[in-house]
Chain A
Amino acid sequence: MLNNQGRPTGAGAVAENAHARETFTRNRGLAMEEPLIFEVGRLDSTGVDIDEPEPFTQRLGKHARTAPIDLPGLSEPETMRHYVRLSQKNYAIDLGLYPLGSCTMKHNPRLNERMARLPGFGDIHPLQPVSTAQGALELMDTLAGWLMELTGASAVAMSPKAGAHGEACGMMAIKAAIEARGEGAQRRIVLVPESAHGTNPATAALIGYEVRAIPAREDGTVSVDAVRAALGPEVAALMLTNPNTCGLFEPEVVAIADAVHAAGAFFYCDGANFNAIVGKVRPMDLGVDAMHINLHKTFSTPHGGGGPGAGPVVLSPALAPFAPAPFVRRDGSAFTLVESAAGGQAFGRMTAFHGQMGMFVRAMSYMLSHGADGMRQASEDAVLNANYVRVCLSDVMSAPFGERPCMHEALFDDTWLKGSGVTTLDFAKAMIDEGYHPMTMYFPLVVHGAMLIEPTESESRASLDLFIMTLRDLAFSVQRGDVERFSGAPYHAPRRRLDETRAARQPVLRWTKPPPADGSRIAAE
């Protein structure tokens, strides 16, 4: 292939060349190979200046450390280089479109980072006198107020540390309410649709419930009839994601909620996809009793390579009394903190201290920035972008639910790949070569070879168009039978495909000192 200057630019040729001419350093231009800190650091080196204390009589008793620590140190310049080089091996929202369905990889405003680092938020202690932390409690109370207004809830438990932790909190409140009714022994079952995220059944099991699956309907939604058929006096709750994991709003959700309540059970809503409906519909108006809110998805606190998250749980009036400690109380312009669960109906405590304050500040900053109008617009844009992607790809890829509009994410299956020799995984890996993070793959489980695309509201029209053109180009390659573009992909990432079987068969989970270079270990074997 020639470009318009008449020089060879074929991707295959470059890759072969690079492979044939291995560099001395193994670096490839700006793509640096970086050893582990244990391989470059020195035990007597450090990147901090700390003076030895004046001589004193220690009070450690017989507990002084005798075991080696065995951790090398690096000076500051070495440290900077190590982590900057590592960082350059990561994909990121700030680098490009990150269409991971159900993960909501939207822009993370930097103002939020600055706000969370104000000493008045970042440098305060959870156990300093509440009289010296009134602003922190005010922020928690304000955020709680916004969450209640947006969901229609009458209470919110702020302490859960992430979505799954919030799920546990909401389900514990449900369990406590059921026990308070004297039905604890009887109601042992939690209903979970097959399409649910794995955390739902794991959470129900974690707090001692038996999980019963509800089959999915062909159109990707849950039918009220299937729920009714599964309900009974032994059912404690239904856990339903809405909008659901197929990216669809459950059309029968109100009837489902009514059926659940009529059977004396509670409706837990997984709020992972709340970002599609903020400002458009209030979950509590649909009959939800408890729902966690992933602040790191809907309200854009950064994902940080896998956390920290935050998962406040909004509660209906029936569940509000059972919310765990601690909680903030407003008394005029003053705030108090109730830290003990004793005496009331609170079911206990989810974690030390009061929740993810650093995330609260960021989420508050996001909400204040957007305002009611901006949040509604963000939801609409997220839905608009997803549908635009869906429509622009529907002639080359296959959608399991036909032309039906989606919410904030567009779901495709692998019917269109059948017989091509290309799998969903291959297709995803080829996206990496094009500079995109793959979409969510093989989830939800109810759709074969699922590809779940969530562009979010942060993408411009131009960015979406380029993404769509790229996926269309890949699809045309599939049609042409250019399997090679996929089967070996990625060719241009910091690493080619990694051997996950080897990692799992002989787990190496930490660095250990290599055997001496003289080969004595081999000789010993």
Chain B
Amino acid sequence: MAQTLYTKDHEYVRVEGDVGVVGITDYAQNQLGDVVFVELPTVGKAFRKGEQAAVVESVKAASEVYAPISGEIIDANAALEDAPALVNEDSAGRGWFVKMRVADRTELDGLMDEAAYAEFLKTVV
């Protein structure tokens, strides 16, 4: 069963078996404004937790997206190339960035669950 976890940098990872679907949260897309471009890593590349894995751009800002967990990229959301607006419209769904193979399940323990992230947001707003 899928479980969604969050980082303090406003990335989420939805764990489905040994695959993690990674994107940015609704709060993050709201802060960024209209997303105009997403630079995604190539499939096959491996990242350690916390490494820069993608860049998301609005008109006036470029923000780095860090890998919330360690692992290899097994898929990247090609739809974002033509429709970066998906990140704004449906960040948790069709606006996902990459799918990663979960390399170390213990890393998941360090992430926030939905309730904890909601609490965390109260501290940043």
Q: Which residues of A contact B (CB under 8 A)?
A: 500-501, 504-505
Contact = CB atoms under 8 A, between A and B. Distances in A.
Nearest to B34: A501
B36 interface: yes
A429 to B, nearest CB: 15
Contacts of B34: 501, 505
B37 interface: yes
B125 interface: no
A514 to B, nearest CB: 22
Interface string B53-94: 000011100000000000000000000000011000000000
A501 B84 CA distance: 11
| Category for how many chain B residues contact A | under 10
A501 to B, nearest CB: 4
Contacts of A504: 36-37, 57, 59
Interface string B34-62: 10110000000000000000000111000
14 contacts: A500-B59, A501-B34, A501-B36, A501-B58, A501-B59, A504-B36, A504-B37, A504-B57, A504-B59, A505-B34, A505-B36, A505-B37, A505-B84, A505-B85
B2 to A, nearest CB: 30
B84 to A, nearest CB: 6
A496 to B, nearest CB: 17
A348 B118 CA distance: 56
A500 B35 CA distance: 11
Nearest to B37: A504
Contacts of A505: 34, 36-37, 84-85
A505 B85 CA distance: 8
Contacts of A501: 34, 36, 58-59
A286 B20 CA distance: 56
Contacts of A500: 59
A450 to B, nearest CB: 14
- 6 closest A-B pairs by beta carbon, nearest first, are A504-B36, A501-B34, A500-B59, A505-B36, A504-B59, A501-B59
Interface string B10-30: 000000000000000000000
A245 to B, nearest CB: 18
B47 to A, nearest CB: 21
Contacts of B36: 501, 504-505
A500 B59 CA distance: 7
A322 to B, nearest CB: 34
